[in-house]
Amino acid sequence: MRGKIIFLAGLAAALGAGWAGFPYAIYTSRPQPVDFSHKVHADKAGAKCEDCHAFRDDGTFAGIPTLDKCAGCHAAAMGTTAAEENFIDQYVTPQREPPWASYARQPENVFFSHAAHVKLGNVKCESCHGALGASDKLPRYRQDRISGYSRLGMSMTDCIACHRQQARADSCLDCHK
């Protein structure tokens, strides 16, 4: 009886650690450099995703906008929030790029084309990035301690599931060029 209790105690300890502790312990967490609100930009400024996350002339995707883009509107404060004031003081005035952490960074061996998905496939931004575009506050960037990738990133399983659902090609060389 005592042996069973000890065995079950070990089982319970591992289950607790594995389900409750491990998912937190595996990540480091840090805030984004700027308290940015997609919602404010979408609602008040009427900005669309592609206004800031633009495609270049050659069709490639520019990703996170650089400071030039932000400074186009925020060379001086447009509102009265502390977040904007902080952004201008720390980044716009000294012309320092904010060290954004990309939630969607993919491994080096993955070739992902935004143009193919957004322009040709008419995939909505939310399909992969969730409701980030409507959020009032950027979630903390949680980085896997071992792999180095974000918790919010797309995994290969997500890509394959969508490709199969949409009856699109899902062979290895489509993404792993």
Partner 1 sequence: MTTTRRDIFKFAGGSALGALLTPAPWRLITDTALWSENWPGIPRPARGEIRAKFTHCSLCPAGCAVRARCVGEQPVSLAGVRGGLCPFGVTGHQLPYHPARLRQGPVSEAMAAVADAIAKCGPGERVAVLDLRPGRTASWTARRAMAVLKNGWYIAPVQSPVAVDLTKARTVLSLSAPLLERWGTPANVFAVRDGFRLIQADPVESRTAALADLWLPIQPGSEEALALGLAGQLTSAETAAMTGLSELQLASLENELTGNGPALVIDRAMSPAVVALNVKLGGWGRTIVPRAEAPVPPEWKKAAPVTELAALPDRSIRVLLIDESVPGEYLPWDAIEKKLTPGNPLVVVFAWSADGYGRYAKYVLPTPVYPEATDDIPPAIDSPAPCFRIAAPLVAAPAGVVNPSEFLAGVAGLPPADALRDRARAIHQAGRGTLVTYADGKSVPVKEVKPDDFWKALNAGGCWVGQALPPAKMRAQRATFPQPTRALASLTPSPQPLFAILTGAPGPALASPLFTKLYEESDLLLAPNCVALHPQDAARCGVAAGNRALLETPNGKWSVRVLTDSSVRPGVVLAARPEMAGAQGKVVRV
Least spacing, CB of residue 84 vs partner 1, in Å:
32
Q: According to the binding rule CB under 8 A, does residue 14 interact with partner 1?
A: yes
CA 37/CA 45 separation, integer angstroms: 11
Among 63, 72, 130, 148, binds partner 1 (CB under 8 A): 148
Among 29, 60, 90, 102, binds partner 1 (CB under 8 A): 60
Write the binding mask 106 to 145 for partner 1: x where contact by CB under 8 A, - elsewhere: -xxx-x--------------------------------x-
Which CB sits closer to partner 1, 14 or 75? 14
**What is the b/e burial string over 34-59, where b = at least 16 CB atoms within 10 angstroms of the residue's CB?**
bebbbeebbeeeeeebeebbeeeeee
